[in-house]
Structure 1
Amino acid sequence: MLVYMSMHNDVSFIIDLRLNLYEHQSTYNPNLPLRFFMYAADIYSDLTKDENLYGTKAIQISPPKFVIFYNGEAEQPDRKILRLSDLYTVPDTCPSLELTALMLNINKGRNEAIMEACKTLKDYAEYTFRVRTYAKELPIESAVERAITECIREGILSDFLSRNRAEAKKVSIYEYDEEKHMRQTREEGKEEGIQEGRQQTKLEAIKKMMKALNITAEHAMEILEIPENEQEEYLSKLPK
């Protein structure tokens, strides 16, 4: 059940002699092909631990398939192929080692053919959509409670939510808070980067003015109208 995938978000199993590795992501991650490669290496190592890898007999292994279920808020296409070779430091038109992963957008209104074929997945998308929608106006606890109550009443994940109401609520709140924290962290990082860029631009302007006019740093900052409470920080970064 995907409601639990934020806690246990990697799943592997063998169907029809094929190794299937599924991952659930609420944040787009271009590094998943590399992570899948590491997961697969560990799994194959475990599956062949009793085999003679140095012998002349070919050891049969299950062919892998990698799928990512994405339901983040950042816009992504219905289907997207992520490749290990996209992460290589230099382009390689014919990589000796490749891994491709299919990312499926499972948000409400996306990949409708898949959603119609799998009611549980469609219900999960509807439930997630309601939690996020209500959380824009209500405290997250109230938003989750309202979404759960409505979904049970309307037959959306009703059996699961009825049996596991308390745990589903707890995990949903955790997942939402985790997403919110990650969004805030990215926004704060972006703002810090902008601020650092502005400071570096001012620092370069101070240096150029000092050199061009043969004046002190203090005089240059006065001309550039840099506030006094910021001047000490720039002085510490200028050559003595």
Structure 2
Amino acid sequence: MEAKHFMEEKPSIEKTQSMEEKELHVVKKHKDTVFRMLYNDREKLLELYNALNGTVYEDTGDLEICTLENAIYMGFKNDVSFLFDSEMCLYEHQSSFNPNMPLRDLFYISRQLQKYVVGKTLYSSKLVQIPVPRFVVFYNGTQEQPERRLLRLSDAFEKKVSSPELEVTVTMLNINLGKNRELMEKCKTLREYCMFVECIRKYAAQMDIEEAVEHAVTECIRNDILADFLSAQRAEVIAMS
């Protein structure tokens, strides 16, 4: 009887708050996962790379995606990591401002570079060459942020120094609609991704998130916004909510 009574007991305020926090976490993460799925496509990823760097590469054969899929490191996942043109690029999507991205990327790039130099000796007189690290964060949260912002590891140092002996610089780009127009004009996929997120927000203000995603997916397919991707991944995108 006591066990039955315990099972029927209403959840405490603390448990209710914990459940609400988990629900909010899921809502917040779904855009990150859609971004990761979207740019797991090499052609779309090369399009984004070209838009960011002013290049016109067309051959995706040399583009190697090296994201640590399904591997949690220091409690987080990287969205998109790839090798191309002697660069190791880490692209992240963030729906809230995170000033700790340089430290996160330092941990991540260290792990990737360890994998990259496996089999090479670091104790010889020959210089071991490594790809150039590039870090970009695509921000589309509701908190006001400038179009472009540089995040530096040295900003986190407990003591300020004029010439840091260790530095990581991360470029944060605001990709909310109306921001970074030149980039959006160059990258159709990124522009349409932002339109999809805005569509979800529009419906989420009127209904629960799962229904909002359903409506947004349907509307975007009808208006030819990420239509091929959303048509093919409809169930997965909706399930992420």
* TM-score above 0.5, yes or no: yes
Match of 2:190 among 93, 116, 121: 121
**SS of alignment partner, residue 22 of structure 1:** strand
Q: 1:160 & 1:2 partners in 2: Cα distance? A: 13
Q: 1:111 & 1:46 partners in 2: Cα distance? A: 35
Match of 2:162 among 93, 113, 124: 93
Q: 1:112 & 1:168 partners in 2: Cα distance? A: 26
- Determine whether 1:61 maps to 2:92: no
Q: 1:25 aligns to what?
A: 94
- Determine whether 1:3 maps to 2:20: no
8 Å CA contact 2:78–2:90 kept in 1: the answer is no
Match of 1:79 among 134, 148, 161: 148
8 Å CA contact 1:9–1:25 kept in 2: the answer is no
Q: Deviations over 1:162-213 (max 9, x none)?
A: 1111111122x2xxxxxxxxxxxxxxxxxxxxxxxxxxxxxxxxxxxxxxxx
Q: 2:11 aligns to what?
A: none
The CA deviation at 1:49 is: 1.9
Q: 2:137 & 2:212 partners in 1: Cα distance? A: 27
1:101-120 equivalences under 5 Å are: 101-120=170-189
More helix as a share of residues: 1
TM superposition score normalised by structure 2: 0.68
The CA deviation at 1:10 is: 2.4
Give the structure with higher Rg (CA): 1
Q: 2:202 aligns to what?
A: 133
Which amino acid letter does the alignment assign opposite residue 103 of structure 1? M
**SS of alignment partner, residue 141 of structure 2:** coil
The CA deviation at 1:5 is: 3.1
Q: 1:189 aligns to what?
A: none
Q: 2:221 & 2:204 partners in 1: Cα distance? A: 18
1:1-240 equivalences under 5 Å are: 3-5=34-36, 9-171=78-240, 173=241
Q: 2:115 & 2:151 partners in 1: Cα distance? A: 26
Q: 1:47 & 1:74 partners in 2: Cα distance? A: 37
8 Å CA contact 1:130–1:147 kept in 2: the answer is yes
Q: 2:168 & 2:150 partners in 1: Cα distance? A: 10
Percent identical: 48
Point out which structure has higher relative CO (alpha carbons under 8 A, 6+ apart): 2
**SS of alignment partner, residue 196 of structure 2:** helix
**SS of alignment partner, residue 23 of structure 1:** strand
**SS of alignment partner, residue 202 of structure 2:** helix
Q: In angstroms, what is the RMSD of aligned CA positions?
A: 1.7
Q: 1:90 & 1:34 partners in 2: Cα distance? A: 16
Task: Give the count of matched residue pairs.
Answer: 172
Which amino acid letter does the alignment assign opposite residue 27 of structure 1? S
- Unpaired runs of 5+ residues, structure 2, are 1-31, 38-69, 71-76
Q: 2:131 & 2:222 partners in 1: Cα distance? A: 43
**SS of alignment partner, residue 194 of structure 2:** helix
**SS of alignment partner, residue 5 of structure 1:** helix
Q: 1:69 & 1:35 partners in 2: Cα distance? A: 15
Which amino acid letter does the alignment assign opposite residue 57 of structure 1? K
Q: 1:54 & 1:82 partners in 2: Cα distance? A: 33
Which amino acid letter does the alignment assign opposite residue 42 of structure 1? R
**SS of alignment partner, residue 190 of structure 2:** helix
Which amino acid letter does the alignment assign opposite residue 122 of structure 1? R
The CA deviation at 1:9 is: 4.3
8 Å CA contact 2:150–2:169 kept in 1: the answer is yes
